Structure 1
Amino acid sequence: MASQALMAELKRPSALSAAERDAWIAFTNANPALASPYFRLAFAECCEAARDDTRVIVARKGGAIFGFLPLQIGRVSYARPLAGPLGDVHGVITEGDTEIDIPSWLNAAGVPLFEFHSALAIQSCWRPGEAWRDGSWIIDLANGYEAFEDDRSAVEPKAFRNIRSRRRRLEADHDVAEFRMDDRRPEVLETLFAWKSAQYRRTQVFDVFSVRWARDLITEIARRDDAGFRGIVSSLTIDGELAAIHAGMASETRCHYWFPAYDPAFNKVSPGLLLLLETARDAADKGLTSVELGPGDYDFKRNLGGYQIPLSAGCMVTRSPAAALRHAARALADTVERAPLGPMKTLPRRLLRRADKLSAFYAV
């Protein structure tokens, strides 16, 4: 029995041995649930290039490599998924999810607490810590792009009438429209960052790209073109002016649609939506079978997504001061919310959520 004892250690992705790298690749190749580029070793390497706190728990049983859990470990050992708040999907990298006990992995690796979101709910190991669920929308390209449009047009006829109208308006009102599916011009990515920051200011939400590591991560991914993983920067130019840009990434079978932005001056033709559809068309032409849109209750995701992948969010803890402190803070918020304080009763919960978000971006 002792030979089957769990052993786990923390490593940087760059410090993984050749055997560990081979096991990672074998696990992702064998497990269809790990189709997303988020699960590729190259993505972990990009995260390490952008953030010094990128680590991987390497778990072994009986000396054999059992699985990997990539994560970011903040300055107080408060762990979060790879890429922190930018991660749309994550999970355990292994052949299956049987006999995986995440708290045991954390404890063996010396990680006191793991706040997770967007974990693959199909992996049952997340259920003990699960607090709520979400879903990631998928554009199904298994039968090609035309089949996708035909299928979704039948389900969402109004949405696709609007898309056809936007295409006609683009052709009628503008002389030249050019889609570039691999736009490596450096000014394109810089324009994307500027547009996204302006969008965040308009909508009064936290500016993701005010944090240096977020810009560095997208820039690093955009450079990559490896077997099984490549960065994507695509653009739509109208009459010589950039109208829409998207930065994302792709594995062998799935494109992840990540950071889109557009110039509001071209709003009448919905340039962002048209670029998304061309991105899907290009993905199908390259043999990919899906485009993942991520979680979020947006019309375009519901209209284009054929199905959702269930995602889990919550927290895994071990017996530690950090875990005890988190538990006490949540317990206090629960107590205040039950008190007859009117609108003020939700203030502690809101403050905790804001603190969690900021600490995630600033790697606390």
Structure 2
Amino acid sequence: MLQVENKKVQELGPEDRAAWRRLRAADPGLASPYFSLGFVQAVSRVRNDVRVLVARENNEIIAFLPLQVGILGHARPVGGPFGDHHGLIAAPGQAIDLKALLSAGGISVFDFFGVPGHQRAFRAGARGEDGSWVIDLSDGYDAFVETRSAIEPKAFRNLRSRQKKLEKADGGYVFRPDDRREEVFETALAWKSAQYVRTGHFDAFSVDWTRNLLKTLVHDEGEDCHGLVSSLEIGGRLAAIHVGMRSSSVLHYWFPVYDPEFSSFGPGLALLMKICEHVSQDGIAQVHLGPGEYAFKSDLASWQIPLLSGYVATTSLLGAARTLANGIDASARALPLGPVSTLPGRAMRRLDRMTSFRPA
């Protein structure tokens, strides 16, 4: 018999926390900092809508599902649009009736977009698949470069050429793998906001909670999760910055940004390669680049983690509305209207994304 508790993060007791650690350690697919207690705690400090569903069978904890819960029980991943990877904290192969879990926890709808493909509980609700690119550093940085150079020789020739140019730059260059200067962190967010505006995207850092989340991760080291700011200076000036987060074995490549004035040096990629070289000596076996069809990701990545997107709707008024909306989108796509057929779905996804950034 499935028993479910809907708890605030601060209500998780020693038994819950010990079970979380045990279940996460049992599944290598949960090594990302996104699945750590530290990340969920960090989000709960800047938002008041974070909940954790704790599932038990025969009084034994078998799974956790962290969520952000909104109006009428509409749930999203912890971190909203920032939650690139999310899902169940459960032992591999554990049979979970996801709809029963959500229903017992008072959740009407759960929209997801970055669940690892090996979590079978989400298969029935999946409407699409993607992949998160992974740089494999398990055999060291040199082995990674040698392997990928053989597969993508042109890309790595360009990287070596840019590196030589960097080494000859007037005033030299400085790489800081763990740059704790406050002005560097603030510059990264300012540059990223400008990039969002310049490219016509919603400025993710125009709301307080997203900025405060990154500050919390960077300044307060959580359990197996903390923020990492790295920088590259050329000729004494900031050229590129990356704000990411790491666990004991995985670095998540999150918010890279660079000054376009230094674009001839390829500062963003130069910084990424320097980061990879450094973290490979500090216990990091994988760098997760996230999803997205970018040439640099396919050039550098060793493989992809399959990701599922979709939704699960329970028997509820909101669940019925979510299913109806999905049906409208599917019906429109089936019509021979060209690009117009995608308008309903695009409008719903844009609205959902904007809603996801709302303050808690």
Structures share fold, TM-score greater than 0.5: yes
Does 2:160 align with 1:149? no
Mapped contact 2:231–2:241 kept (Cα < 8 A): yes
Match of 1:52 in 2: 48
Counterpart CA distance in 1 for 2:112 and 2:335 is 29
Greater mean alpha carbon deviation, residues 140-149 or residues 323-332: 323-332
- TM-score, normalised to structure 1, is 0.95
* Cα distance, 1:345 vs structure 2: 3.6
Counterpart CA distance in 1 for 2:129 and 2:31 is 20
* Cα distance, 1:238 vs structure 2: 1.4
Does 2:95 align with 1:99? yes
Secondary structure of 2:130's counterpart equals strand
Counterpart CA distance in 1 for 2:336 and 2:296 is 40
Counterpart CA distance in 2 for 1:81 and 1:68 is 13
CA shift in 2, pair 1:57/1:308, >3 Å: same
Mapped contact 1:197–1:209 kept (Cα < 8 A): yes
CA shift in 2, pair 1:147/1:111, >3 Å: same
Counterpart CA distance in 1 for 2:299 and 2:332 is 40
Aligned length in residues: 360
1:36-75 aligned at under 5 Å gives the runs 36-75=32-71
Counterpart CA distance in 2 for 1:160 and 1:209 is 33
Equivalent residue in structure 1 for 2:104, among 103, 108, 130: 108
1:28-43 aligned at under 5 Å gives the runs 28-43=24-39
* Cα distance, 1:347 vs structure 2: 2.4
Counterpart CA distance in 2 for 1:11 and 1:166 is 51
| Unmatched segments (≥5 aa) in structure 2 | none
| Unmatched segments (≥5 aa) in structure 1 | none
- Report the RMSD for the aligned CA atoms in angstroms: 1.5
What per-residue deviation string (whole Å, max 9, x for no partner) do you get for residues 200-253 of structure 1? 111111111112211111111111334532221111111221111111111111
Does 2:48 align with 1:79? no
Match of 1:126 in 2: 122
Counterpart CA distance in 1 for 2:45 and 2:222 is 16
Match of 1:210 in 2: 206
CA shift in 2, pair 1:34/1:343, >3 Å: closer
Match of 1:135 in 2: 131
* Cα distance, 1:327 vs structure 2: 1.8
- TM-score, normalised to structure 2, is 0.96
Counterpart CA distance in 2 for 1:131 and 1:174 is 52
Match of 1:298 in 2: 294
Counterpart CA distance in 2 for 1:226 and 1:44 is 9
Match of 1:278 in 2: 274
Amino acid at match of 1:240: G
Secondary structure of 1:209's counterpart equals coil
What per-residue deviation string (whole Å, max 9, x for no partner) do you get for residues 134-179 of structure 1? 0111110011001111111111000011101111111112222111
* Cα distance, 1:340 vs structure 2: 5.8
* Cα distance, 1:32 vs structure 2: 0.9
Counterpart CA distance in 2 for 1:146 and 1:339 is 51
Mapped contact 2:126–2:309 kept (Cα < 8 A): yes
